[in-house]
Amino acid sequence: MATPFLLLAAVAGIGQVAANLPLPSLPAIAETFRVGPGGGELVLAVFLAAFAPFQLVWGPLSDRHGRRPVVLGTLGLFAAGSLLCAVATSFAVLLAGRVLQAAGGAAGLVIARAMIRDANEGAGVGRGMAALSMAIAAVPAFSPLLGAALDLAAGWRAGFLFSAAVALAILALAARALVETNISRLVVLDARAIARGYRGVWASPRFRANVLVAAGAMGGLFAFGAGSPELYIIGFGLTPAVYALYPLIAVGGVVIGGGVARQLMKRGRATAGLATGTVLMLAGSLGMVALDPLGLFGKHAVNVTMSLFVLGLGLALPAAFAEALAEFKGNAGTAASLAGAIQIGFGAVAAALAGVIGMPAAMAGCGLVAAASLAVRPAGRHST
């Protein structure tokens, strides 16, 4: 009996829900606690700062103790953090709740990827990664819209109550239907063992090259998320409500690219999807940089180049993760943790750079990192 895929996707996506759902409520939160406009941004910054390192914790623990107990425990932790945010009477308590949310939410995508690796071989890993990417593609786009609706209906605390309710519902389903996939657990686990595990994973040229392709893909997406509000609202004159629809570009690209990636993997052509996707990301990001010198910089032209980038992301990201985890059957949790932490960390750097050098330049840098990593990828080794 296998875990229902929708349950696996829900486990994987809950961290992204927590990251994006409060975004429309940040001004109201800042006003409630009288922390000023910049204080509201801490609600997101603290979450991201905790999210990346906690990914490094849950993977090795799931390698030692199993995927199921880690998922159940972290869903409970996520629900507790969400409730703490909802009832917070001070800004410090709210931020503490966000740390707990991040700690619990960080496990989902790591464990879901590890479970896919546990249960599949060869091209099956890539198909599973592509399906997972497609299933959770809408989360970053629709979470802010849902957050805005909840805030309008019942205030900013409603979003955190909603997150807690969702986590508890997923926890109840997981307790009944989540199947343990880790049948070859690590014998011992301590700080030295964890460090050795991460060193062993990073020592693999195949892992390094593919995870940096994935990092470049996610970095470009984070740069777009960080730089697009100012560009579209201030630069192009869109209202915030209209701008909120633009993340749907990313959903469409990831879904289409992921669908093509699944078909390529069914035919044993994962490498073709990885290469084509990386080329499209590079073309889209460099094309965006070229718009201004050519006198074409406008919202429609930016949308076209962004569409190319996310289409490439949808193609490349599942194959990159499948290839990065391919050698690590026995410690897939450790490999997935390190890959996820690198991806999120790189994304955070790219988002910061978007505010310094501009969104197009930051995205171009990410496209170049992905292309350079693909170029040094070990030859002759690929999923089939």
Residue 294 phi, psi dihedral angles, 5° rounding: -85, 0
Closest CA to 167 of 31, 18, 351: 18
Q: Do residue 167 and residue 103 come from a single domain?
A: yes
Which of these ranges, 18-22, 28-32, 258-262, has the smallest mean pLDDT?
Answer: 258-262
Residue 325 sits in which domain range?
204-378
Predicted structure pTM score: 0.73
Which range of 48-57, 89-98, 125-134, 266-275 scores highest in mean pLDDT? It is 89-98
Q: Do residue 171 and residue 209 come from a single domain?
A: no
Reported residue count of the chain is 384
Q: Share the mean pLDDT of the chain.
A: 82
CATH of the domain at 118: 1.20.1250.20
Check pLDDT > 60 for residue 1. no
The 10 Å CB-count burial string (b at 16+, else e) for 310-333 is bbbbbbbbbbbbbbbbbbbeebbb
**Three-state DSSP state, 246:** coil
Look at residue 14 and tell me if it is in a domain: yes
Asked if residues 63 and 332 have their Cβ atoms less than 8 Å apart, the reply is: yes
Q: How many domains does the chain have?
A: 2
Confidence of residue 67 (pLDDT cuts 50, 70, 90): confident
**What confidence tens digit (pLDDT) does each residue in 195-247 have?**
888 888 899 999 999 999 999 998 898 788 767 767 887 788 877 667 767 76
Q: What is the pLDDT of residue 134?
A: 67
Q: Do residue 127 and residue 262 come from a single domain?
A: no
Q: Do residue 150 and residue 208 come from a single domain?
A: no
Q: Do residue 104 and residue 240 come from a single domain?
A: no
Better-scored residue on pLDDT, 183 or 274: 274
Which range of 34-38, 68-72, 135-139 scores highest in mean pLDDT? It is 68-72
Q: Do residue 149 and residue 213 come from a single domain?
A: no
Q: How far apart are the first and last CA of the chain?
A: 25
Q: What is the pLDDT of residue 94?
A: 94
Look at residue 341 and tell me if it is in a domain: yes
Q: Do residue 119 and residue 219 come from a single domain?
A: no
Q: What is the pLDDT of residue 348?
A: 79
Q: Do residue 100 and residue 236 come from a single domain?
A: no
Q: What is the pLDDT of residue 121?
A: 67
Q: Do residue 215 and residue 350 come from a single domain?
A: yes
**What confidence tens digit (pLDDT) does each residue in 311-344 have?**
898 888 888 887 888 787 767 778 878 888 888 8
Q: Do residue 138 and residue 261 come from a single domain?
A: no
Check pLDDT > 60 for residue 49. yes
Q: What is the pLDDT of residue 383?
A: 44
**Percentages helix, strand, coil for the chain, rounded to the nearest 5?**
80, 0, 20
Confidence of residue 186 (pLDDT cuts 50, 70, 90): low
Which of these ranges, 142-156, 167-181, 322-336, has the smallest mean pLDDT?
Answer: 322-336
